[in-house]
Amino acid sequence: MRTKLLYWIPTGLLAAMFLMSGTFNVTHQPHVMQVAARLGYPSYLATILGVWKLLAAVTLVFGSRWPRLKEWAFAGLFFNLSGAIISHVASSDTVASSVPAGVLLVLTGITYAAQRRYGPAGSAL
C-alpha cells in the first residue's frame, strides 16, 4: 500500500496540475493570455500547449500500458516547463513569475523518479 501511495500521490498531483493548466490554456483564460502576450507568444500557442498538457495528464494516469508513451509525456512536460522558465528569464520577467514552472518541474522530476522506482512496468497498479 505504501508503495502505491509513493507512486500515486506525486503522479496524481502532477496530473491534476496539468489538467487544470491545460484547461486554462485551451479555454484562453485571461491570465494565460496576458502572460503569453507579455512573453511575446501568439495566442494560438496557448491552445496547442493546452492540448498537449491535457494529453500528458491523461497519459500520466492511464498510460501504464504504454510505458514509451509515458516517457514521452514526461519529456514533453520537462520541455514545456524548462521552456517556460527560460522564456520568463529571457524576457526580463520577474523571477517570481518563473517559480510556478520551477515548482512543477521539481514535481515532474519527483513523479518521474517515483514512476521509475514504484510504478508499474507495463501493467496497471
pLDDT of residue 117: 86
Say if residue 122's pLDDT is above 70: no
The closest of 114, 117, 99 to 60, measured between CA atoms, is: 114
* CA atoms of 52 and 22, how far apart (whole Å): 7
Q: How confident is the model at residue 124 (pLDDT cuts 50, 70, 90)?
A: very low
pLDDT of residue 105: 97
Residue 124, in any domain of the structure: no
pTM of the full structure? 0.88
Q: pLDDT tens digits for 29-72?
A: 999 999 999 999 999 999 999 999 999 999 999 988 888 999 99
pLDDT of residue 28: 97
Sequence-separated (6 or more) residues with CB below 8 Å from residue 6: 114, 117, 118
Question: Alpha helix locations (H) across 1-98?
Answer: 2-26, 30-39, 44-62, 67-90
pLDDT of residue 7: 86
Which residue range forms the structural domain that includes residue 78? 2-118
Residue 90, in any domain of the structure: yes
Query: How many domains does one find in the chain?
Result: 1
Residue 29, in any domain of the structure: yes
Say if residue 6's pLDDT is above 90: no
Residue 91, in any domain of the structure: yes
Q: pLDDT tens digits for 64-121?
A: 888 899 999 999 999 999 999 999 999 988 889 999 999 999 999 999 999 888 876 5
CA–centroid distance for 120 within its chain: 20
Residue 125, in any domain of the structure: no
